[in-house]
Structures are given as structure tokens and as C-alpha cells.
Amino acid sequence: MHVTADIFLFEGFRLDRRDGGLFRRDECGAFVPVAIGARALDVLGVLIQQPGVLVSKDEIMQAVWPHMTVEDANLTMQISALRRVLDQGRPDGSCIQTVAAQGYRFLAPATRVERPNSNGAVAPPATADKTAARPSRAAAHRGRIALAGVSATVAVAVLAAIIAWWARPAPTAFPGPPSRLSVVVLPFANLGEDRDQEYLADAIADDVTTDLSRVAGLFVISRNTAFTYRERSVDTKQIGRELGVRYVLQGSVRRSASLLRVDTQLIDAETDAHL
């Protein structure tokens, strides 16, 4: 019988790769879902399969972003998001070790819970509170779909607005390179009270950038370049001139308990008009 490891237990966390969720054990011993981006979960899934082993950046990026060309900063951001969640209250430093110019190593002791395929019996995923575990997995699955849906919805709305505005006759020509269909996604602001949720805003902005970059004919400024404008007071016209783009997307994220509010503004960099 073929057996695969779907569940990993480590330091009060449970990673369920089949149901797509990360869970933290609460004071009652039940596992509750943790809000974290899908790509960060994918990175964790690669590292935790080889605890204590140095995993190269190339190996991680090929597994998480298959058939895509992405910058190292994307991986760095996902590692930072994981550390913000996994290292809370950890006295011995980060559970993810950085090996300069090589890759990363997962240091926390992890226990694999083997779950057979559909031809065999299913092993229990955890020892604590089985009745609470089932809705927690479902909740985390919904949370992961919701985060992915947020990014996809924003990307589709942005593209629709660009296409609609692009079809309208412009009062003046935008000279030079900005006449092409081009956009920059600026870092999303975290408007919540918890500064540790900064990674959530970054993850959504990063996902929107990636989704838009897949659209044929749309030129999208890289995340690295876009994030140089974080906390800089620069008007959109200047950004358009400096980057040679026609459109600027700004956004904000506010999280309260299980609710997530994302606001976006698509701006014509030539006229500073909100589309």
C-alpha cells in the first residue's frame, strides 16, 4: 500500500497539506486555523519534508512557482511571512535557518503523520480533540481559498478597469513608453492594529502582481521595483514617469478577527484620475 505524508506536527502547529491549512494548538488543545498565504504554505511544505536539510533556493522556487520566472525577493517575502507566524514566542530563534546565497533549513523537530491513499484505512491526523479538528481543517481550507480569491478578484477587477479605460479616447497622448498597456502594483498598506499582519498585505500585493503578469500584452513592473516606493511620499504622476507605466494600483488591507477588507484604487498615472 502506497503511503504519503499529508500531515506534519511541530511545536504546537499542524500542517495539513491535503486540506491546505496551517493550524495552531490553542489553550484547550484544539487546532485552530492560522491565516497565511497559499505560497507561504507551499514553501513550508517543501522545507518541512526535509527537516534539518539545506534546501536550495532553486529547489524551493521550482516547487512553489513551477514554469514561472520569479525574483528571489518573492521567496524572501514568503520566508518572512512564515517566520512571523511560526516564531511567535519561540525562545530559540527562528525555526527556519537562512544559509546565505544557498537556501534554507527547517530546524524544528517535525513528526510525519502518514495517511494512506483511498485504498487503505485513514490514520488519525492528530491526538487532540478530533471533533474540533474536522471543522478547523474545513475553516482553514476556506481561508486559503478566500485569500487566493481576494488576489484573483482584485487582479480581474484591475484588468477589467484597465481594458475599459483603455478603450476610451484619451484627451491627450501619453508620450513615449507609457502609451503601452502597463501597470505597477504598489505595496498594500496594512491598516489593521496588528503590525505583525504586514505580511498579509504584502502577500496580497505580491499575488496580484503575479496574476497580472500572466496576462499577455500587459507589462507589469516587478515586485522588487514596486516595493522601493513603500512609505515614500511620491505622487502617481511621478511614479508613472519614473517607471514608464500608464497605471498605478494602490491598495490597503484591514483584518479584524476572521474578516478581511481589501480596498484598491486604480489610477491613471497621466491624469491622476481614479478609475
Question: pLDDT by residue (tens digit) across 232-266?
Answer: 778 889 999 888 899 999 988 887 777 888 888 89
Q: Are 144 and 38 in contact (CB under 8 A)?
A: yes
Between 153 and 176, where is the model more confident? 153
pLDDT at 60 over 90: yes
The pLDDT of residue 230: 81
Q: Which residues pair with 99 in a beta bridge?
A: 103
Q: Average pLDDT in the 141-153 region?
A: 55
Virtual torsion, Cα 138, 22, 53, 63, nearest 10 deg: 60
pLDDT at 2 over 50: no
Q: Which residues pair with 103 in a beta bridge?
A: 56, 99
Q: Average pLDDT in the 147-167 region?
A: 60
Do 3-128 and 147-274 agree at the fold level?
A: no
The pLDDT of residue 55: 95
- Grid coordinates representing 232 are 515614500
Beta pairing class for 182-185 and 219-220: parallel
- Among the listed ranges 189-193, 217-221, 267-271, which one has the minimum average pLDDT value? 189-193
pLDDT at 223 over 50: yes
DSSP result, 68-85: ----HHHHHHHHHHHHHH
147-274: CATH topology: Rossmann fold (3.40.50)
pLDDT > 90: percent of the chain: 17
Query: What's the CA gap between 169 and 181, in Å, rounded?
Result: 14
Q: Which residue has the cell 477588507?
A: 261
Q: Average pLDDT in the 188-213 region?
A: 80
The pLDDT of residue 179: 52
Query: What's the CA gap between 37 and 28, in Å, rounded?
Result: 26
pLDDT at 59 over 60: yes
Segments making up each domain of the chain, as ranges? 3-128, 147-274
The pLDDT of residue 130: 39
- Grid coordinates representing 207 are 499575488
Q: What is the pLDDT of residues 76-86, one digit of tens each?
A: 888 988 988 89
3-128: CATH topology: Arc Repressor Mutant, subunit A (1.10.10)
